[in-house]
Amino acid sequence: MAISFDEVQHVARLARLDLTEQELRVFQGELNALLGHFSDLDEIDVEGIRPRPHAVSLTNVLADDVVVPGLSRDVIFKSAPKSRAGLFVVPIIIEE
Amino acid sequence: MSHPKTAVELARAIASRQISVPEVAEEFLSKQARAAELGVFLNVDADAVRAEATAIQAKLDSGWTSPLAGVPVAVKDNIAVEGQPLTCASKILEGYIPPYSASVTNQLRDAGCLIAGKTNLDEFAMGSSTETSAYQLSRNPWDLTRSPGGSSGGSAAAVAGGITPLSLGSDTGGSIRQPAALTGIVGFKPTYGRVSRYGLVAFASSLDQIGPFGTTVEDVAHLTAAISGHCGHDSTSLPDAKIDISDLKGGSLKGKRFAVPREMMEEGLEDGVRQVVEAAFETLRREGVEIVPVSVPSVKQAVTIYYIIAPAEASSNLGRFDGVRYGPRIEGDGHAGSSASTRGQLFGREVKLRIMTGTYVLSAGYYDAYYRRAQQVRTVMADEFAALHRDFDAVISPTSPTVAFTIGSLSEDPMALKVLDSCTIPANMGGFPAISLNAGLADGLPVGLQLMGPVMGDERILQLAYTVEQVMPKVQLPFG
């Protein structure tokens, strides 16, 4: 099942990756090569096999609800690309 | 301090006052030209190293002791050390300084280890050669034209090059064991959940595991013991996670049964690697080990399921890098445009390819065909290995099908690099412990031997590896 140029463009949009046309073409080739390799999955019969999402069995663990000091605002905003008055400055999401 | 010296020997010299921790720190700092030649570090904070050395010495002077006190440990740059830059070798995290330390960083400090610096890696740990770093190449101390493997190539080169006796890496599909094999040292991936992943930048959360590099199994065992244990900050941390190495030297090979998956001795195995590994098997037989060839059919699908599951998890984990919370931002059209510009321009090629792959295999219409099916094969693989672990004392194989390859030689064929991980991936898929140790040289380059054990069988596999190490040929590392 080959992946088309339009599909590659669609996947890049879903992944929030702004790619050049040249990059899209390169990735189209590489994704098609990978998908070709993926066909060997069919060699194993997985009928009725439970999918394994994790390496070891996990049970949900709840922490005690104890108040502890968090990181200070100054420390948090030190790494933000833009901040003002104790808030993250982000690009406009909803236009007026 | 004269090399070669193991971490345990160095710690002993420090404890007996033959050398002070500040002297150890200065010795380490004096090696920065060699470290730069090998492309080991992305950041070394000399002031922090000196301050930490002074503090450790003060603790020792007050009567405190610890098996690794004063020993320098290099830390892969996808693990947080508070106040020191964390880049994951990516432009998208340039300038980011984490406001907290990873649990393993705190454990290193509790053990009195000297945090030496942050080591180079493949960008976000995606790669098998350390060539996808956005900042620099790392080089193999055995031959500077060759790769040290990856993704923890900087951490492996630190130890094999004699820069630090110990280092930490992370292993998602073999990223500790493969570079350990290619540089002739010891690398261990513990059972998933026995070492906290809190403060490790997530690549593929169900596979990632932090682990140690050292020149001997004993050194690696001590560092493993120091960083293991339950962590309340990591919801995947196991309850009885602490690794006890008190029986490390009490093993014997006589009467042991090791399984060798035929599939790991087939595809792409270089003749030189085969000869060294078969010679190692012969040595083990002479020591009383029964080596039993077995078939593990799912091994043939290891690389495929890795290249579905790991990118799927990565595409989700790397969603947080959008130019809003940390790192640089490249402006675009509104929030979505800004995010796409930042990610499109600041992620490297391999990272973008894996995000694209992951997004595709998780997208509507393809989820069942790829992701769900890969997880089903993962179940088959984990069950096949669990059965072997019940019947045998260990599963044994080459770590890498090739010796260290020339830098750039595989970049034209991405799949050629990816198949290098076929022997190491099953341990990540099943969460079980696996260790690589040196088995000898092929054409003057190291060959790794991998031992795998059951989930929670870390103590058993470390003990077996220690015992095996005693009968393997001794190899002199190329310290500069």
**Percent with pLDDT over 90 in chain B:** 91
Mean pLDDT of B197-216: 98
Cβ-Cβ contacts under 8 Å, B372 against chain A = 51
Contact with chain B for residue A87, Cβ under 8 A: no
**Percent with pLDDT over 70 in chain B:** 97
Position with higher pLDDT, B381 vs B327? B381
Which among A27, A53, A82 is the nearest to B353, CB-wise? A27
Q: Is B147 a catalytic residue?
A: no
Unique residue bearing structure tokens 């690309």: A81
Mean pLDDT of B66-85: 97
**Cβ-based neighbours of B346, under 8 Å, separated by 6 or more:** B90, B91, B92, B94, B323, B327, B328, B330
Helix axes B302-317, A21-38, angle to 10 degrees: 140
Asked if residue B407 has pLDDT above 90, the reply is yes
Considering the entire predicted model, what is its pTM?
0.96
Token pair listed for B209: 């595991």
Asked if residue B212 has pLDDT above 80, the reply is yes
CA distance A85 to chain B (A): 15
Measured distance CA(B44)–CA(B32) in Å, rounded:
9
Q: Which of B149, B154, B183 is nearest to B168 (CA)?
A: B154
Asked if residue B358 has pLDDT above 80, the reply is yes
Mean pLDDT of B151-179: 98
Measured distance CA(B148)–CA(B38) in Å, rounded:
9
Cis peptide before B148 (omega within 30 of 0): no
Per-residue CA distances from B378 to B178, B284, B307 (Å): 21, 31, 12
β-strand partners of B294: B261
Q: How confident is the model at residue B326 (pLDDT cuts 50, 70, 90)?
A: confident
Measured distance CA(B122)–CA(B231) in Å, rounded:
27
Q: Is B2 a catalytic residue?
A: no
β-strand partners of B200: B79
CA distance A56 to chain B (A): 6
Cα B384 off chain centre by = 24
Q: Cβ separation of B238 and A56 shorter than 8 Å?
A: yes
The residue among A79, A83, A84, A87 with the most chain B CBs within 10 A of its CB, best to mutate, is: A79
Cβ-Cβ contacts under 8 Å, A61 against chain B = 235
Measured distance CA(B373)–CA(B217) in Å, rounded:
37
Q: Which of A38-47, B113-122, B139-148, B249-258 has the lowest mean pLDDT?
A: A38-47
Cis peptide before B151 (omega within 30 of 0): yes
Contact B185, B6 (CB under 8 A): no
Mean pLDDT of B37-63: 98
Position with higher pLDDT, B105 vs B409? B105
User: Residues 62 to 81 of A: which have CB under 8 A from any B CB?
Assistant: 63, 71, 75-76, 78-81
- Give the number of other Cβ atoms within 10 Å of residue B388's Cβ: 18
Mean pLDDT of B13-28: 97
Q: Which of A77-86, B348-357, B365-374, B445-454 has the lowest mean pLDDT?
A: A77-86
Measured distance CA(B167)–CA(B212) in Å, rounded:
6
- Counting Cα atoms < 13 Å in the Cβ hemisphere of B441 gives 10
Contact with chain A for residue B374, Cβ under 8 A: yes
Q: How confident is the model at residue B1 (pLDDT cuts 50, 70, 90)?
A: very low
Q: Is A82 buried (19+), middle (13-18) or exposed (0-12) by CB count in 10 A?
A: middle
pLDDT tens, position by position, B82-135: 999 999 999 999 999 999 999 999 999 999 999 999 999 999 999 999 999 999
Asked if residue B3 has pLDDT above 60, the reply is no
**Catalytic entry in B20, B66, B76, B339:** B76
Measured distance CA(A71)–CA(B369) in Å, rounded:
43
DSSP B87: -
This complex has an ipTM of: 0.92
Q: How confident is the model at residue B417 (pLDDT cuts 50, 70, 90)?
A: low
Q: Tell me the three-class secondary structure of A25-85, residue by residue.
A: HHHHHHHHHHHHHHHHHHHCCCCCCCCCCCCCCCCCCCCCCCCCCCCCHHHHHHCCCCEEC
Asked if residue B232 has pLDDT above 80, the reply is yes
CA distance A64 to chain B (A): 10
Q: Cβ separation of B236 and A54 shorter than 8 Å?
A: yes
Asked if residue B160 has pLDDT above 70, the reply is yes
**Cβ-based neighbours of B196, under 8 Å, separated by 6 or more:** B102, B103, B104, B107, B210, B227, B229, B231, B233, B234, B237
Q: How confident is the model at residue B268 (pLDDT cuts 50, 70, 90)?
A: confident
Asked if residue B411 has pLDDT above 70, the reply is no
**Chains A–B, number of C-beta pairs less than 8 Å apart:** 165
Mean pLDDT of B338-366: 96
By three-state DSSP, how is residue B271 classified?
A: helix
Measured distance CA(B109)–CA(A95) in Å, rounded:
49
Measured distance CA(B305)–CA(A4) in Å, rounded:
23
Question: What are the φ and ψ backbone dihedral angles of A70, each rounded to 5 degrees?
Answer: -95, -170
Q: What was the pLDDT predicted at A90? A: 87
Mean pLDDT of B232-253: 95
Q: Mean of the per-residue pLDDT values for chain B?
A: 95
Per-residue CA distances from B237 to A58, B21, B42, B264 (Å): 9, 32, 29, 30
Q: Cβ separation of B301 and A41 shorter than 8 Å?
A: yes
Q: Where are the alpha helices (DSSP H) in B67-122?
A: 103-110
Contact B70, B108 (CB under 8 A): no
Per-residue CA distances from B255 to B74, B229, B249, B294 (Å): 38, 32, 17, 18
Q: What was the pLDDT predicted at B157? A: 98
